[in-house]
Amino acid sequence: MDDATIHRAAAISSPLLAWYRREARDLPWRRVGFPAWGTLVSEIMLQQTQVARVVPRLEAWLTRWPTPADLAASPPADAVRAWDRLGYPRRALALHAAATVIAEQHGNVVPRDVDDLLALPGIGDYTARAVAVFAYGDRHPVVDVNVRRVLARAVLGQGEPGPAKAKQDLPLMEATLPADRDDAATTNAAVMELGALVCVARSPACDACPIADRCAWRTAGYPEHDGPRAPKQSRFAGSDRQVRGMIMAELRASDVPVSPAEITMVWPDADQRDRALASLLRDGLAEGDDLEGYRLPRG
């Protein structure tokens, strides 16, 4: 990374901080005193899920399971059922597994160290850094898709970020962070917020952007992106993901095993239905067989 790129990255933090402190959404995980456990839960729920869908589910989850030990004491089926329609229910199983390790190995306290967080089941680099920064205020670069888009445009002058590259993305975000630890944590949140609300993928609101006068992409005249593009998620309608979700809805709604005949009614394509059910069994989201019926995991 050359000096000019480092300078452009550092130059966006000050106006972003002022904008964020004035315009940031009031979200539960941003409030003073919000627990580290709540931050971990929120970060896992927010993966590929809209904020508006997460907030009520998060509040209900933390009311029922205010600490990791509370969740660990419940069977995995309860976690999957409470996940409801947030999507990607394997996240519920991963969160249950992480809660169990936190309760048993960390004294029921979400660890602060990034390496300790990474050692938890289902916790990747983004989530580990996000918890260390947003729950504990430590100074680390945190990079998600919104951050990558803002940095690509404002700092690199590219219309799209292209495929994720940790060796480029993390140092670029690191160059954006002020030295002050509190300001660094807030800058992480501010860049995310800008990407979520203003510097969106389609039709960015450049007239409302607090760093428009420092944006390399705008200065260059909004050139078309001609580099590699980030992979797009496949269509949901008619996909195996949709069939998995429909089978999961049947399992969540029943307190007794669901018979093969009931599962047959979920989807007309037998091959796709069988494939979806097999993947749920393989992922640990369902258990049983054609003789006993199928249910959520009991742990």
pLDDT tens-place string over residues 80-99: 999 988 888 999 999 999 99
Task: Please tell me the distance from the alpha carbon of residue 150 to that of residue 154, in angstroms, as a whole number.
Answer: 6
Let me know if 292 is a catalytic residue.
no
Out of 43, 174, 193, 287, pick the active-site residue.
Answer: 43
Contact 92, 123 (CB under 8 A): no
- Tell me the mean pLDDT in the region 158-175: 91
pTM for the predicted model, two decimal places: 0.87
User: Which DSSP string corresponds to 74-115?
Assistant: S-HHHHHHHHTTSS-THHHHHHHHHHHHHHHHSTTS---SHH
Residue 288: partners with Cβ closer than 8 Å, 6 or more residues away: 257, 281, 294, 295
Q: Say what the pLDDT of residue 233 is.
A: 64
Q: What local confidence, expressed as pLDDT, does residue 253 receive? A: 83
Tokens 């508006």 belong to 52
User: How many CB atoms are closer than 10 A to CB 82?
Assistant: 17
Helix (H) or strand (E) holding 208: none
> For residues 47 and 86, what is the distance between their CA atoms, to the nearest angstrom?
10
Q: How far apart are CA 161 and CA 230, in angstroms?
A: 7
Pull the structure tokens for residue 140.
């680390």
First vs last C-alpha separation in the chain:
48
The two structure tokens encoding residue 276: 């979806």
Degrees, nearest 5: CA angle 217-176-188: 105
Whether residue 257 contacts residue 295, with contact meaning beta carbons closer than 8 Å, is answered with: yes
pLDDT band for position 1 (cuts 50, 70, 90): confident
pLDDT per residue as tens digits for the range 168-217:
899 999 999 999 999 999 999 999 999 999 999 999 999 999 999 999 99
Give residues with Cβ within 8 angstroms of 146, minimum separation 6: 191, 192, 194, 195, 196, 199
